[in-house]
Amino acid sequence: MSVMALVHRRARPVARRRQHQAAEATVGWLAVSPALILLICLLFGPAAAVILFSFTDWQLGATTFHFVGIENFAALWADPPFWKALVNTCIYVAIVVPGTVGLGLATALLIEASPGLRGFYRAVHFLPVMSTMSAMAVVWGTMLHPSIGLVNRTLATFGLTGINWLRDEHTALLAVALIGIWQGFGFAMVLFVSGLKAVPQQLYDAAAVDGADGLFDRLRIVTLPMLGPVTMFVIVLTASRAFEVFDSVRVLTQGGPNYASEVLLNRLYSESFDYLRTGYGAALTVVYLAIVIALTLAQARFIERRVHYS
Amino acid sequence: MAEIELRGIEKRYGEVSVLKGVSLKIQDGEFLTLVGPSGCGKSTLLRIIAGLEDQDAGEVSVGGRLVDGARPKDRDVAMVFQSYALYPHLTVFDNIALPLRTRRLSFAQRLPLIGRLLPGRTGIERSIRMEVEQAATMLDVAHLLHRKPGQLSGGQRQRVALGRAMVRHPTVFLMDEPLSNLDAKLRVQMRAEITALHRRLGVTFVYVTHDQSEAMTMADRVAVVIGGELLQVGPPEKLYRDPQDLRVAEMIGSPKINVVARGRWADDRPILSAILAPQTRHLAFRPEAAVLTTPTAGLPGGTVTDLENLGSDIFVHVALRDGSETVVIRTAPDEPRFSLGCAVGLKVDAARLMQFDEAGRRCGDIERVAA
Amino acid sequence: MSAHRRRSRVAGRIARHALLVVSAAFALLPFVWMVSLSLKPPDEIFQPDFHLWPKTFHGVENYRVALTAAPMLRFLLNGVFVCAVIFALQLVICVPCAYALAKLRFRGRDTLFSAVLVGLLVPPQALAIPHFVLLYVFGLLDTYAALILPWIISAFGIFLLRQFFRSIPDEIIHAARLDGLGEFEIIWRIMMPMSAPALAAFGIFSVVAHWNDLFWPLIAVRSEDISTPALGILLFRDDEAGQFLGPLMAGATIIVAPLLLAFLFAQRRFIDGLATTAMK
């Protein structure tokens, strides 16, 4: 065999192999390309565009725009309604999270305590989660109506005079938060129930042998410690959902009265789409985006560490 | 014709070299097992033959045709996997029929919904049904055709996997630890069934296992792969009697071959020294290559530390007098009994004593010296 | 002792039901109120004394007004259409991508997966402005396309399915390749049927999210003809007929009912689906 032939023989498989791997790579790229293109066009591109817009004075429909540096952010900083919205959103989260988690945990413990009507209770508590918020917000609006609403009528039977909950600066945010708890606690309940099902029966048996067979002992020694990770998760989930509150505010108060129930997303919507102040809205969006991403990353780290230690 | 030829196969995963130049020729119709400890590269070699992985260097030919770069389905090989890899959402019938459908139905005929309406499909489906039923009958799973894999026992799944491999009459059967998920009793039964299947089909079988007894009992030839290298290929009895490498000697046979470092042995005796090659570092002998005697001056000896009575044989563990090493000797039950703690002498059949050098290679052919 | 224990257990059960009835009432009250009002004539709604069941049944009239004054059924059909198309397109785009990320080897795969993870961080509301601009530029505002297009790529869907596909053993895919299936056929014939639970979970997540979404339809759509249910009820409220509480509540009932009924028919699927997608 000539030297040439030897060289040829050695070279050929490598070329073939490349071809084979290239085939897999081709299929791979073919499979991901629609998603990749759309990720760029509909996610990363727009995200970059928002940041770009936030440094301009562009208004929707205008043919020209100028870069204005951080002017939009400066305006935002000096804008009381923005601060009001930020503070209100935090207050909203601070009310909804403990309410939802507490009520969800309590109902989960009660539902799992014994088998009677378990499925029925679970379904009933889950109904608000499945309901369309905008329609239910309309319903809540009538329930909180000052004269014909269910809430004030009930108060009236006890001789109390109700107020106009959604038009009162002191109660508007509270009322919206109540609706948030109403919609979310069933979901928390379901997550807690799945956490409860994961607690091994042997732990209860061991606790009983050790003398802890009372309801509260069982809760204190076994149930609540074992629910730790689930609780963390429910808190994180509820908080991030509460942070995105919009529907109920939009439908019921539109942020009013006098920004008493203004929240970030409603502010974002009003500036961007009611007043069409695109640049300003974009700056608001950038701030919102930064907060959400920071929270998500912090939560991810936090959860990771918790899981690691447990 | 479906002999398989591997030439200088190399495979690396990043920095780790899994196969270091394996060359092997497998005859048409042969049953060859690849045996080795887990992680030795034997499964990778099988997947390279199947075309599921690419080698980094070397060539594979099947039936005299180079298949490098050919897609798995174009290689005319069938494979049975350790987990059986049955499609859980398809019935047994559809599992077995799938390779036939992909080969015989055109792309259009395989399309969902529309495919059913295309002409010619009914006839093909009828012949597929016949062949699937035939294979299922042969493997005794004909009564299970309408079930899903989840409703089958381990042995039944194994047969379905065989059926799926068999139904398209491949010229090469590749099997990757197909019995390791079965319980011990079923495993022995399936061994016999697979060898019977091999005889009936008469095609080439390449069978990967980490279980040396499986390799020895089933194969025409056994190839030992350790650390990415092919150490020795040969008929089972040849590997057992005449291993060319210490690792092969230790891999094959149960209980393991006795290995004693030179110097730990009473090798200062003139006869022994005469037959030992200068480069010999390890002496090895099978448990049946020695007999136990009463302690005798000039013979190596030690103390009995354990007795394993298997009924047919008794394995006696002896801690050597002049070292920390232990050897295992097979004795027949009717031979003189040795109790725990008693001192014994060892008489090794010099013709069956093997010598290995520093690197574990066989050296100093005793048989010739002794003769 | 045992009599005492039995008595305390019975007391515990009664307490459990008593407490759960209270929380169940809290959950159900808005629905009961909504349905009750939807059956009442206007004068009865404003009467000082309240009855759950109307004295004069006005239900037929209220629902007739709701259905005729606003295209309620149209809203529902729009909802079904939009949700179905969104989910179908999400599958067409996400499934091959998730398969490639989970099971194929190619340069750039890990980078792309990191990009998907980054994509998970971006809340959809943050993209409203550029999406709006994009649709405006292409003249697609106030069309079905405006409701659908921004959602057809789902980083979450890719992530979820990729995780599930990874749990399917490679041997199955190897077997399929040996059996002669091409990669796209493997996706369609092997991966999709085997991941039915994950697909169902993602489907429920997607449909519930888009059926109930208000933020985006409010931005993208003005006309009644293509409104989704969540937006439709607000359009109806701002209508003349929607000023009357009876028809408004009837409309709300019509909007809320389909998803709640679907849930009641397949509770386990819905709860498991939403819980697993939340857990990821």
C47 and C114, same domain (yes or no): no
C129 and C16, same domain (yes or no): no
Question: Which residues form the domain of C207?
Answer: 72-239
Region B126-148 average pLDDT? 90
C59 and C174, same domain (yes or no): no
C168 and C195, same domain (yes or no): yes
Buried b (16+ CB within 10 A) or exposed e, C98-109: bbbbbbbebeeb
In-domain check, residue C22 = yes
Distances (CA, A) of A125 to A107, A190, B204, C148, C255: 9, 9, 64, 31, 19
Residue C235: alpha-carbon gap to chain centroid: 20
In-domain check, residue A275 = yes
Residue B86: alpha-carbon gap to chain centroid: 23
* CB contacts, 8 Å: C152 with chain A: 38, 42
* CB contacts, 8 Å: B108 with chain C: none
- B205: which strand partners? B31, B173
Give C113 to chain A, closest Cα distance, Å: 10
Which pLDDT does position B230 carry in this prediction? 92
Task: Give the span between the Cα atoms of B366 and B353, in whole angstroms.
Answer: 7
Q: Does B58 touch chain A (CB under 8 A)?
A: yes
C199 and C121, same domain (yes or no): yes
Q: Does C31 touch chain A (CB under 8 A)?
A: yes
- At B303, the amino acid letter reads T
Region B84-104 average pLDDT? 89
Phi, psi for residue B285 in degrees, rounded to 5: -150, 150
pLDDT at B269 over 70: no
Task: Give the span between the Cα atoms of C204 and C201, in whole angstroms.
Answer: 5
C61 and C95, same domain (yes or no): no
In-domain check, residue A56 = no
CATH code assigned at A261? 1.10.3720.10
Query: Who among C171, C185, C193 is closest to B85 (CB)?
Result: C171
- HEC readout, C125-174: HHHHHHHHHHHHHCCCCCCHHHHHHHHCCCHHHHHHHHHHHHCCCHHHHH
Mean predicted lDDT score pLDDT of chain C: 88
C214 and C153, same domain (yes or no): yes
In-domain check, residue A57 = no
What DSSP character marks residue B52? S
C122 and C10, same domain (yes or no): no
Which pLDDT does position B281 carry in this prediction? 84
Q: Does B87 touch chain C (CB under 8 A)?
A: yes
Say if residues B16 and B39 touch (Cβ distance below 8 Å): no
Q: How many residues does chain A have?
A: 310
Q: Does A19 touch chain B (CB under 8 A)?
A: yes
pLDDT band at B31 (very low <50, low <70, confident <90, very high): very high
Total domains in chain A come to 1
* CB contacts, 8 Å: C260 with chain A: 127, 130-131
Which pLDDT does position B264 carry in this prediction? 67
C60 and C80, same domain (yes or no): no
In-domain check, residue C28 = yes
Class in CATH terms, B257-370: mainly beta
Q: Higher confidence at residue A19 or residue B367?
A: A19
Residues in CB range of B110: below 8 A, 6 or more apart: B101, B102, C185
List chain B domain ranges.
4-241, 257-370
- In order, the DSSP letters of B122-186 are HHHHHHHHHHHHHHHHHTT-GGGTTS-GGGS-HHHHHHHHHHHHHTT--SEEEEESTTTTS-HHH
Say if residues C209 and C154 touch (Cβ distance below 8 Å): no
Region C228-236 average pLDDT? 90
Question: Which residues form the domain of A183?
Answer: 72-309
Domain spanning B4-241: CATH superfamily: P-loop containing nucleotide triphosphate hydrolases (3.40.50.300)
Percent of chain B with pLDDT over 90: 29
C146 and C54, same domain (yes or no): no
Element (H, E) at B208: strand B204-209
Q: Higher confidence at residue A307 or residue B343?
A: B343
Which residue in A20, A26, A27 has the most chain B C-beta atoms within 10 A of its own C-beta, making it the best mutation to test that interface? A20
* CB contacts, 8 Å: C180 with chain B: 73, 99, 102-103
Which pLDDT does position A103 carry in this prediction? 94
Give A195 to chain B, closest Cα distance, Å: 28
**Residue with the two structure tokens 């030897």:** A6
Residues in CB range of B306: below 8 A, 6 or more apart: B316, B317, B340
Phi, psi for residue B22 in degrees, rounded to 5: -100, 125
β-pairing, B280-285 with B290-293? Answer: unpaired
Q: Does A20 touch chain B (CB under 8 A)?
A: yes
Per-residue model confidence as pLDDT tens digits over B225-245:
998 899 999 999 999 988 999
Region B23-35 average pLDDT? 93
pLDDT band at B303 (very low <50, low <70, confident <90, very high): confident
Total domains in chain C come to 2
Domain limit, last residue, from C25, C40, C65: C65
Which pLDDT does position A4 carry in this prediction? 41
Residue B306 DSSP SS3: strand
* CB contacts, 8 Å: A12 with chain B: 59, 66, 68
C55 and C82, same domain (yes or no): no
CATH code assigned at C155? 1.10.3720.10
Domain limit, last residue, from C65, C83, C108: C65
Lowest mean pLDDT among B168-177, B242-251, C52-61: C52-61
In-domain check, residue A40 = no
Mean pLDDT by 10 residues, chain A (310 residues): 41 52 83 93 92 86 80 87 92 94 93 86 91 92 84 82 82 92 92 86 76 73 81 87 91 85 90 86 92 84 54
Q: Is B228 exposed, middle or buried (0-12, 13-18, 19+ CB in 10 A)?
A: buried
Which pLDDT does position C94 carry in this prediction? 94
Q: Is B68–A12 a contact, with Cβ atoms under 8 angstroms apart? A: yes
- Chain C from 161 to 190: CB within 8 A of any A CB: 183-184, 187
Give A28 to chain C, closest Cα distance, Å: 5
Q: Is C185–B98 a contact, with Cβ atoms under 8 angstroms apart? A: no
C81 and C101, same domain (yes or no): yes
Q: Is C130–A32 a contact, with Cβ atoms under 8 angstroms apart? A: no
- Chain C from 59 to 78: CB within 8 A of any A CB: none
pLDDT at B263 over 90: no
Domain limit, last residue, from C25, C48, C65: C65
